[in-house]
């Protein structure tokens, strides 16, 4: 306990914001109390000895130490809980009573938890990756909902989360999803492994887009940029370009590195999605046999 006295006022105490499950269980308040060796006080509680009990010196020392631990545990709870909430439970004498009162007020009964779980299940099923958003942002949304479901008692194994993510990504991931389903055992694929694979693919797309944008500038400069409404001069006439960012691009000068056709980049090639659909159909036929 001596080591605790020097750092007693220094730790960052998690503030209660109404989300009891997160505050109490998910690596916050319970973790802090355990690290300070006060969790046993919360679990077993502390009772003052009766006035007529005769105590030995050793017993008195144990009582004093237990009382001090209880006071310190209460101090952490007082720092964490808002003043308005404390006014409703300030009459609690021990840290265990204070903790149990918070649990009774905010954890809810079984019926409330079932209703909350049903709402979270609907949210989980309707989650989809938004166009223009990254892999990390989508995984963050999925795991936030998943952890809330786990806190309500729902069994959420990795395979269920992986399958959900694979079927709710945007179309630009169709090709890599088919490759993952073909080359990996989905039952053994963890969420972290899936995220790592998708991040690698996403970075490759970003790098390829940057490379093709450089080639775009080189192609545009070879034709010469006109001054009339952003058109590009080509031979005797003008070829009106499509706007891309703040400039105009002569899409007839852009060749796809994959199919060789004009008018789009390699990462936008329609053949990618067709190839992904073919691989997916072959995979499904293989599984049927």
The predicted-structure confidence for 265-289, as pLDDT tens digits, reads as follows 666 777 766 666 665 665 555 555 5
Residue 21, strand partner residues: none
In a domain, 147, yes or no: no
In a domain, 262, yes or no: yes
User: Does the CA dihedral 221-222-225-230 come out positive or negative?
Assistant: negative
In a domain, 234, yes or no: yes
Same domain, 283 and 181: yes
Q: Which domain holds residue 208?
A: 171-288
Distance CA 105, CA 166 (A): 39
In a domain, 194, yes or no: yes
Q: Read off the pTM.
A: 0.48
In a domain, 149, yes or no: no
Q: What are phi and psi of 113, to 5 degrees?
A: -65, -35
Number of domains making up the chain: 2
Spatial contact of 276 and 178, defined as CB atoms under 8 Å apart:
yes
In a domain, 160, yes or no: no
The predicted-structure confidence for 107-154, as pLDDT tens digits, reads as follows 666 677 788 889 999 999 999 999 888 999 999 999 999 988 887 888
Spatial contact of 180 and 166, defined as CB atoms under 8 Å apart:
yes
In a domain, 35, yes or no: yes
Same domain, 178 and 93: no
Residue 248, strand partner residues: 243
Distance CA 59, CA 56 (A): 5
The predicted-structure confidence for 156-171, as pLDDT tens digits, reads as follows 999 999 999 999 999 8
């Amino acid at each position: 306990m001596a080591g605790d006295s020097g750092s007693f006022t220094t730790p960052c105490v998690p503030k209660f914001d109404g989300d009891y499950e997160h505050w109490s269980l998910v690596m916050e308040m319970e973790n802090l109390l355990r690290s300070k060796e006060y969790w046993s006080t919360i679990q077993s509680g502390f009772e003052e000895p009766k006035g007529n009990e005769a105590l030995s010196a050793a017993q008195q020392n144990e009582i004093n130490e237990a009382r001090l631990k209880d006071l310190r545990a209460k101090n952490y709870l007082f720092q964490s809980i808002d003043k308005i909430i404390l006014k409703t439970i300030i009459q609690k004498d021990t840290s265990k009573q204070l903790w149990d009162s918070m649990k009774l007020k905010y954890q809810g009964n079984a019926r409330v938890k079932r209703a909350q779980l049903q709402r979270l299940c609907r949210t989980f099923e309707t989650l989809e990756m938004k166009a223009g958003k990254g892999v990390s942002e989508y995984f963050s949304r999925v795991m936030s909902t998943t952890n809330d479901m786990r806190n309500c008692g729902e069994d959420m194994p990795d395979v269920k989360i992986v399958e959900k993510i694979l079927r709710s990504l945007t179309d630009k991931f169709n090709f890599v999803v088919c490759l993952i389903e073909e080359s990996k055992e989905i039952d053994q694929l963890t969420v972290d492994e899936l995220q790592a694979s998708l991040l690698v693919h996403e970075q490759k797309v970003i790098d390829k887009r940057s490379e093709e944008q450089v080639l775009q500038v080189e192609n545009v400069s070879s034709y010469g940029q006109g001054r009339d409404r952003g058109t590009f001069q080509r031979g005797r006439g003008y070829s009106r370009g499509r706007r891309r960012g703040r400039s105009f691009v002569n899409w007839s000068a852009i060749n796809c590195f994959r199919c060789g056709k004009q008018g789009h980049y390699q990462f936008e090639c329609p053949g990618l999605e067709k190839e992904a659909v073919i691989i997916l159909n072959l995979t499904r036929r293989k599984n049927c046999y």
